[in-house]
Amino acid sequence: MIIYSPENAKAGVVTDEWFCKLLKVLRAERRYKRKGPDLWLFYGEEHIAYVELERKLDWESYEWPTVCKQCAKKGLKECNHWDKVNFPERKARGLPEGWPEKPVFMVTFNKDGTNALIVEHEIVFTPEHFGERRWTRRGYEHFYEVPKEKVTFGLENIEPYILNRLGIRSGERK
């Protein structure tokens, strides 16, 4: 169960703003607060996709970290703890009933919104990425663990990634 709290809502507002600033061709709308992906994406009047937004608070640097905090404390310069990008199992579920079937894009911002990564939902949620369950503030959760090579980094690459996956040439405006 996802608990809807004012804090979550506030976190959602900031990532909505960050994401919408990246759009030059597409337009995003938040339709519902509690269910389904965070934003609906439109190309002109046409609804073409959804976006699921996250803000990863322990991704504090601009670059994706090469070493985790625990290993850094031991004096290591790199470790394998950030080799994979984790997505919680609860994001694997399908669209709410009645929602049009469209691709879903997973966008994760770093703590201050200066960098982000994107990957398509169908790339993330495959059996080969299904990982161990871990203890989190929500209780035990399984995560899908995606090698970082499979995601695309950079604010400037977010919209082009979506356009590319949808076969829209980025020069076109509708």
Positions in the binding site for Zn ion (CB under 5 A): 68, 71, 79, 81
In whole angstroms, how large is the CA radius of gyration of the chain? 16
Please say which residue, 71 or 168, places its beta carbon nearer to Zn ion.
71
How far is the C-alpha of 117 from the C-alpha of 108, rounded, in Å?
5
3-state SS class at 160: helix
Please say which residue, 20 or 68, places its beta carbon nearer to Zn ion.
68
Q: Shortest approach of Zn ion to residue 81 CB, angstroms?
A: 3
The count of residues in the chain is: 174
Q: Shortest approach of Zn ion to residue 139 CB, angstroms?
A: 24
Tokens coding 156 = 């400037």
Q: Shortest approach of Zn ion to residue 85 CB, angstroms?
A: 15
The residue with tokens 């994760």 is 108
Number of H helices, E strands in the chain: 4, 9
Q: Shortest approach of Zn ion to residue 74 CB, angstroms?
A: 9
164 and 118 Cβ atoms separated by less than 8 Å: no
Please say which residue, 81 or 133, places its beta carbon nearer to Zn ion.
81
Please say which residue, 74 or 173, places its beta carbon nearer to Zn ion.
74
Please say which residue, 96 or 147, places its beta carbon nearer to Zn ion.
147
Q: Shortest approach of Zn ion to residue 71 CB, angstroms?
A: 3
3-state SS class at 88: strand
